[in-house]
Structure 1
Amino acid sequence: MWLLAAVLVLATAVLIVLGAPTWWWLIAAAAAVVSQLAVVTSWSDARAGTVLNVLLALVAAYGFLSVGPTSFHATWEKQATQALTDADATPPVLIEKDLAGLPQPLATCIRRSGAVGKPRVTSVYADFHGRIRSSPATAWMTFTGRQVNTFGERPQRLFLMDATRSGLPVTVLHLYADATATMRAKVLSLVTVVDASGAEMNRGETVTVFNELVLLAPGAIVDAPSGGRPWTPRTSVGLHPRRPDGLGRAHVQHLRRPGRLRLRGPVPRLGGWEVVRPADLVNPAVGIPRRGRAPTAHDGRGTVAGPTGWFTYIELEFDEIAYNVPSV
């Protein structure tokens, strides 16, 4: 029994070090139970081990809450898998003829992204990291995340973020499907600190979905339920997603300066919605290579209006972007 307990404890440690799978908490729970049974058989000599077993049990409980079947991670995995299953993983190639009828600045933007001659983009998977804050006086909160977007008539955006604030883990699940958005956040995967939904959330997330389409997969614009209106003959184009209720508006401005995009639109903040100040996002087409094909944005920052003026509230960088993937 002592040997089995030792093997299970060591296996738990190895799984965590190597990047624990979602079921590692089962091994940790088994280790705590077997170890405590062994302690009970030699209570007078080994009772101090109970303290460590309690700690191990708490670790297993946190593992269940954070990555177990009822966790945000499991919800994201399930919905992302279904979304990618529904998307066409082998779409036809985007050709020059498909750009006919688009405003010239927008067609130029799509060409420069490298989308022409490549398969149409029906889905995007991304890994990213960065930092975020709610005000200039608030400390930065670092985060990592995963995201799946699908495009077409019924776009979806499935966003999962793991952050740390004041030394405590915070998990955020942001879902958008059928023009409806929700955002939930938990501390320690247990205490709910954000549970947002409603018309304003739907409107803002529609803008976010459309902005990310333009940034991450501009070629998918040709299949998007959207309208286009030139602002000026050569420099920019205005776009907005079509919604039955008229909610949601996104703008992308393609500048003369190659490889630059500017966005305008609302972004979510705790306590309401603010308007994004136009922020440059760098075109990585000449930067690091990506699996699938080069995306149109690999890092950037967002700014919002605060009580004392505009400030940068988010900085992020994509670690990997893959297109038309069959699964996560």
Structure 2
Amino acid sequence: MKRRTIMWFVGAGALVAIGGGIYAWSTSLSRAFNARRADAAAEPMAKMPVLTEEDIAPLPEPVRHYIGLTGSIGRPIVTEIVMHFDAAMFDAPGEPGMTGPVVQYERFDVPHRLFFMNTKMKGLPVAVLHDFNRDQATMRVRLAGLANVVNISGPELTRTETVTILNDIAFYAPSRLTDPRLEWTAIDDARAKVDFTLGSNTVSAELIFNEAGELVDFVSDDRGMLEKDGSLTIARWTTPLGNYREFDGWRLASEGVAIWHLPEGPFTYGHLRLTHYEAR
């Protein structure tokens, strides 16, 4: 049976007769993204201290090494990021992918996370908006600007997106790995376990590092995959990333995939390539 992923997809069965008006396909969700981003960015932001070697001393050794490699030492701890990606997403194994640009805005103090994608499915324009606002998450997928074909929210989605925020911290705000909401357990010289508490949710992941000290995979059993009936099924989720590059002095993973590990085998449902990164 084909499954829905929680990220960025609309099933073929969701297509409807739309008539005219395709010209308006991207307007409403893009406006919602821009409005929410402006509101989130306008909230007061505390000045963060410069990260020091002393700050990272309590962390497991591979985490300390990784933070140093990313260029985080000697710079203020990151609170806000803006990222642009080129993305390819797949609704099910063997199906054609959907490609398009992604813009992501995130604040880790409040927190806020906004993810917006433009793509097409079967020739029809699709817009996708993920919105994590303080303590609740929503996901909307709009076909041709006329109707939501996915519109979900609730505590299960919020928990799922909490895992996504933890993943973003690990790969794209490594100075935040000192955040007091994180609790670390050392495993060995290439792995460490982390628990992240946000509101009523505590989620966990295992971080895996290569011989060079780079973070190359993130493994969590706390994330939910969207099914056809709108429910979320917990499945192992991994994001092997690599191709580390410099972005304004930050050395970050720039390319990789997202994988659901299902009983019938792994399903690589997404590929992302980072093209632009800003942090403060």
| 2:205 counterpart of 1:258 | no
> 1:208-267: CA deviations, max 9, x gaps?
0011110001101223511111122x2221111114534432332234343242111225
Whose strand fraction is larger, Structure 1's or Structure 2's?
Answer: 2
The secondary structure found in structure 2 opposite 1:189 is: coil
The residue type equivalent to 1:208 in the other structure is: T
| 2:237 counterpart of 1:281 | no
Once residues 274 and 142 of structure 2 are traced to their aligned partners in structure 1, the CA distance between those partners, rounded to angstroms, is 24
1:279 shift after superposition: 4.0
The secondary structure found in structure 2 opposite 1:210 is: helix
| 2:72 counterpart of 1:115 | yes
Decide whether the 8 Å contact of 1:303 with 1:314 is kept in 2: yes
Q: Which residue among 32, 54, 59 is the counterpart of 1:102?
A: 59
Alignment of 1:163-202 (within 5 A): 163-202=119-158
Whose helix fraction is larger, Structure 1's or Structure 2's?
Answer: 1
Structure 1's 129 and 166: CA in aligned 2 closer, same or farther, altered over 3 A?
Answer: same
Once residues 80 and 198 of structure 2 are traced to their aligned partners in structure 1, the CA distance between those partners, rounded to angstroms, is 21
| TM-score, scaled to structure 1 | 0.71
Runs of 4+ in 1 over 6 A off after TM superposition: none
Instruction: Name which one, 1 or 2, has greater alpha-carbon Rg.
Output: 1
Q: Which residue among 153, 168, 171 is the counterpart of 1:215?
A: 171
| 2:238 counterpart of 1:238 | no
Decide whether the 8 Å contact of 2:118 with 2:128 is kept in 1: yes
> 1:260-279: CA deviations, max 9, x gaps?
42111225434433534544
Give the number of equivalent residue pairs: 256
Q: Which residue among 136, 140, 153 is the counterpart of 2:97?
A: 140
1:310 shift after superposition: 1.0
User: Residue 129 of structure 1 corresponds to which residue in structure 2?
Assistant: 86
Unaligned runs of 5+ in 1: 1-57
| 2:17 counterpart of 1:62 | no
| TM-score, scaled to structure 2 | 0.83
The residue type equivalent to 2:260 in the other structure is: V
The residue type equivalent to 2:102 in the other structure is: G
Decide whether the 8 Å contact of 1:179 with 1:206 is kept in 2: no
Once residues 180 and 224 of structure 2 are traced to their aligned partners in structure 1, the CA distance between those partners, rounded to angstroms, is 21
User: Residue 17 of structure 2 corresponds to which residue in structure 1?
Assistant: none
Decide whether the 8 Å contact of 1:160 with 1:171 is kept in 2: yes
- Percent identity for Structure 1 against Structure 2: 27
Once residues 167 and 258 of structure 2 are traced to their aligned partners in structure 1, the CA distance between those partners, rounded to angstroms, is 12
Once residues 275 and 199 of structure 2 are traced to their aligned partners in structure 1, the CA distance between those partners, rounded to angstroms, is 36
Structure 1's 135 and 88: CA in aligned 2 closer, same or farther, altered over 3 A?
Answer: same
User: Residue 162 of structure 2 corresponds to which residue in structure 1?
Assistant: 206
The residue type equivalent to 1:79 in the other structure is: R
The residue type equivalent to 1:62 in the other structure is: Y
Once residues 155 and 296 of structure 1 are traced to their aligned partners in structure 2, the CA distance between those partners, rounded to angstroms, is 21
Structure 1's 79 and 283: CA in aligned 2 closer, same or farther, altered over 3 A?
Answer: same
Structure 1's 172 and 212: CA in aligned 2 closer, same or farther, altered over 3 A?
Answer: same
> 1:163-206: CA deviations, max 9, x gaps?
11101110011011223111000001112110111222111100
Between 1:217-226 and 1:314-323, the stretch displaced more is 217-226
